[in-house]
Structure 1
Amino acid sequence: MKNHRRKHSEKTIENPTLISIGNSRIIMILSPIDRIRLNNIIHCYDQFSGEPSSSTYCPPSTVLCLRIDEFFNRKKPIFINFISYFKHLPELQTLNVDDQVSLIKQNIRLLIPLNYALLKTHINSKFRETPRIQTIGCINNVNLHEMFRSLSNSFVDFVTYDPVIVKLLVVILFFTANPLTTRSIYDPVQFKQLNNIKQIQSSYTELLWLYMLEKYGEQNAIILFTKMITKYLYLQIVIDGIDSIIRMNNDIDNIDSLMQSFLQLT
């Protein structure tokens, strides 16, 4: 007998009915404190991690060919605004200053694509226009701009679906003590308050889970979380490759000193 393989349609995320009408029930999972923390994250991100002013950023109207130092120096305002957001998180302020700096240096370059996904999805964003940029002088003529753009685009669907889950995911990943990159494996950071960092990360992970559980139900929450983490694991692999490309480039000494720190070049 022939074996017939049954085709299964891909499982999609569905929005459950959250507001009850009549005799139906509303399931409230988040506590009042959870909701306060959630609102703080949303408003803090919107306030401090916005787009740079028009005086410091302007999408190019023609193809812009940039050497690697020019490419990353243009990104400095984005990095600074993003870091400003994390500095305003009360949990980060409780940590030792050295640990704060280590978390920024270790994780900020990994999270930049997620930040771009959040920025470009807004209807009035200047980042909605795809800038035509070509990095020059990289090994094998690699275009780093396209690599970063592809990574950020992989999270746009999540932002479109619900930007809150991406904003929470960014915080969770920021408090990662040991990301899966070559640099972190061979040059691990020695945190002074490692247990505190893990506790902060766990608390935000729980907050994200409860938020998704309340809004989308358990099955959809599992699908969402699994897909986001899978995307991020792939992102780490790509960023690891980008790190290698950067370090083999002759123009890295011309990169702004602060950006060199963000890119873990110093």
Structure 2
Amino acid sequence: MHCCSSNDILNDEDQILLNNINNAYQLVVDKNDYSYIDKYTSSTPFSQFINDETMMYESLINFFKCIPEFKQLDKNDQVLLIKSNLLTIIHLHHIIIYNFQDCPNLDKCLSKWINKDFDYQIVRTRQYFYRFINYPLVLKLALVVLIFSVNLSSWFDITQFYEYKNTKILFEYQNYYTNILWRYLNYLFDEKEAIKVMEIIVMQILRFQLLMVTMRNSVCQSPYCSQYHPLMQSVLGL
């Protein structure tokens, strides 16, 4: 472990915050059984996967509800952040839940439901994050940073920006947690590696963003859109 400067050292308050984030995440995750993916077969419909994912999305939302700054936001802003960002950042949640391992069963189904290239790109993008298998808190912190983004979903109307009650506080919260993440990375790695990690997170989240456009297009072509769980309809912008 390396500390680059006094500005990068984690203080006692930071350590408490990191422990709280870790504990909150674990508490939420332990309440659910995510083994449904292991039961998929070649006959499992795409619509079942979309509805099954509700549990995964709800658990991530419950994690965010444990973050004090998120809880302090106007309810309207909380809903907008969830609608705008969850579909893109859910993949970091998936990676942690499945212990930084591929899901061959799901991958086979994704190839069938959407196409082989989509599955290949999803797997490849996920694998960039496997280097954090010994540091899952990096991804948990990244989730907190990213939920305060004004919009990570490329299909939502730009006018949505003006629907937020307080965009200034969103930027302040995101900046606060970005600084925490940066200090934590400098605690774990030297500065060069910390910069590389930040680049990986940003670039691969952008890749997930583009891939979710492809997935959403496939979802929209389904005749079962109206049968999806309301939460999934919301995050998919249906």
Structures share a fold, TM > 0.5? yes
Asked whether 1:29 is paired with 2:20, we answer no
Are the equivalent residues in 1 in contact too, given 2:28–2:63 (CA < 8 A)? yes
Pick from 50, 57, 62 the counterpart of residue 36 of structure 2.
57
Q: d(CA) in 2 for partners of 1:187 and 1:147?
A: 32
Q: Helix, strand or coil for the counterpart of 2:44?
A: strand
Pick from 33, 48, 73 the counterpart of residue 95 of structure 1.
73
Distance change (3 Å), C-alpha of 1:147 and 1:258 = farther
Deviation string, structure 1 residues 96-148 (Cα, Å, up to 9, x no partner): 011111111111111111111011117xxxx765325536996xx53699368
Q: Specify the alignment match of 1:23 in structure 2.
A: none
Q: d(CA) in 1 for partners of 2:130 and 2:205?
A: 14
Richer in helix (by share):
2
Deviation string, structure 1 residues 152-203 (Cα, Å, up to 9, x no partner): 6334414314211111111111110122613254754621011111111000
Asked whether 1:223 is paired with 2:201, we answer no
Are the equivalent residues in 2 in contact too, given 1:178–1:184 (CA < 8 A)? no
Asked whether 1:172 is paired with 2:145, we answer yes
Q: Specify the alignment match of 2:24 in structure 1.
A: 44
Q: Specify the alignment match of 1:205 in structure 2.
A: 178
Asked whether 1:72 is paired with 2:50, we answer yes
What is the one-letter code of the residue matched to 2:89? L
Distance change (3 Å), C-alpha of 1:169 and 1:264 = same
Q: d(CA) in 2 for partners of 1:163 and 1:212?
A: 12
What is the one-letter code of the residue matched to 2:93? N
Are the equivalent residues in 2 in contact too, given 1:134–1:143 (CA < 8 A)? no
Higher RCO (CA-CA < 8 Å; seq separation 6+): 2
Q: d(CA) in 2 for partners of 1:93 and 1:118?
A: 23
Post-superposition offset of 1:51? 6.8
Post-superposition offset of 1:52? 2.4
Post-superposition offset of 1:28? 7.1
Q: d(CA) in 2 for partners of 1:94 and 1:33?
A: 19
Distance change (3 Å), C-alpha of 1:129 and 1:179 = closer
Q: Specify the alignment match of 1:84 in structure 2.
A: 62
Are the equivalent residues in 2 in contact too, given 1:50–1:119 (CA < 8 A)? no
Are the equivalent residues in 2 in contact too, given 1:42–1:167 (CA < 8 A)? yes
Distance change (3 Å), C-alpha of 1:69 and 1:147 = farther
Q: d(CA) in 2 for partners of 1:184 and 1:235?
A: 19
Q: Specify the alignment match of 1:116 in structure 2.
A: 94
Q: Specify the alignment match of 2:109 in structure 1.
A: 134
What is the one-letter code of the residue matched to 1:71? F
Q: d(CA) in 1 for partners of 2:44 and 2:86?
A: 22
Are the equivalent residues in 2 in contact too, given 1:113–1:151 (CA < 8 A)? no
Q: Helix, strand or coil for the counterpart of 1:59?
A: helix
Q: Specify the alignment match of 2:205 in structure 1.
A: 232
Distance change (3 Å), C-alpha of 1:186 and 1:148 = farther
Q: Helix, strand or coil for the counterpart of 1:179?
A: coil
When normalised by structure 1's length, the TM-score is 0.77
Q: Which ranges of structure 1 fall in alignment gaps of 5 or more residues? A: 1-15, 19-25
Are the equivalent residues in 2 in contact too, given 1:118–1:163 (CA < 8 A)? yes
CA RMSD of aligned residues (A): 3.0
What is the one-letter code of the residue matched to 2:71? Q
Higher Cα radius of gyration: 1
When normalised by structure 2's length, the TM-score is 0.85
Identical-pair percentage: 23
